Amino acid sequence: MKKYTKYLKIAGYVLLALIVSICAAYPFRNKLIVTAVETFVPKVTKTAVSLESVDFRPFSGSISVKNLKIANPKGFSAPYIFTLGKIDVNLKLASLTGKKIIIKNILVDKVAVTYELLTDGTSNIEVIQKNAAGEAKASEEKSAKKDDKKSAKSQKPAKTVVIKKLRLQGAEVSAVIAGIPMKLPLPPVTLTDIGENKPSTAAEVFSQIMNVFSKETLSAITQATTKALKEGASSLKDVFKKLF
């Protein structure tokens, strides 16, 4: 009986130490997340990333992020390619301990994009997109090599991510095309079931989002450029009418 009492005391001390450790770390959880984001995202974008603040509420599974800034790739003039005012994330908390992290909803509000096109036809969004795709491929190859080295019993597949719904709203693009600066709003973009049909790592999911965002941005710029050219041609026609 004394032996069991001794074990119970030890277990009690361990549990108490664990509770104290969690309580001590809890106030710093948001700072830890900021550090994690500023460490992970640059590996995908290959550019510097800064984050103002995070509010993580573990019991409700919600995360609120403010002022995420992603720097432009080398060779482009503007300091940032993306600034995201606010990001609200709601995830399935129990999935964090599983093989698949399930994010129920992501709302990205007040997105400012700076689109730059170099003389060789390369855009900054294209560079970021390629960086993300390259990181996703590298992550996949690394995971495959690990699987080859491990036996079937000891294999531990990488965590995958599923985003049920992602919405970008309040987005605006600043662009300089052929020396002509322009600002134009982007229509709201809603994506669903990202990573659902094919198991995807965080880098692969980011690459998918960038691909869609790039298409929407280029589509908006093309429409705005076409409109500007039509308006310019119409104005020029009116001038000639008055002259002759």
Quick one: how far is CA 21 from the chain centroid?
31
Q: How confident is the model at residue 152 (pLDDT cuts 50, 70, 90)?
A: very low
Q: pLDDT (tens digit, 9 = 90+) per residue, 12-23?
A: 555 555 545 545
Q: How many domains does the chain have?
A: 1
**More confident site: 175 or 232:** 175
Identify which of 82, 84, 86 has the alpha carbon closest to the alpha carbon of residue 115: 82
- 34 by DSSP, 3-state: which? helix
Dist CA 224 CA 232 (whole Å):
12
Q: Average pLDDT in the 30-38 region?
A: 86
Domain ranges, residue 130: 2-243
Q: Average pLDDT in the 147-162 region?
A: 64
Dist CA 172 CA 126 (whole Å):
18
Q: How confident is the model at residue 178 (pLDDT cuts 50, 70, 90)?
A: low
Q: How confident is the model at residue 7 (pLDDT cuts 50, 70, 90)?
A: very low
Identify which of 127, 91, 85 has the alpha carbon closest to the alpha carbon of residue 108: 85
**More confident site: 229 or 49:** 49
Asked if 175 and 115 touch (Cβ cutoff 8 Å), the reply is yes
pTM over 0.75: no
Q: What is the pLDDT of residue 162?
A: 92
Highest-confidence range of 8-22, 24-38, 118-132, by mean pLDDT? 118-132
What percent of the chain lies above the pLDDT cut of 70? 66
Q: What is the pLDDT of residue 73?
A: 92
Dist CA 106 CA 92 (whole Å):
12
**More confident site: 138 or 130:** 130
pLDDT of residue 236 exceeding 50: no
What percent of the chain lies above the pLDDT cut of 90? 16
pLDDT of residue 231 exceeding 70: no
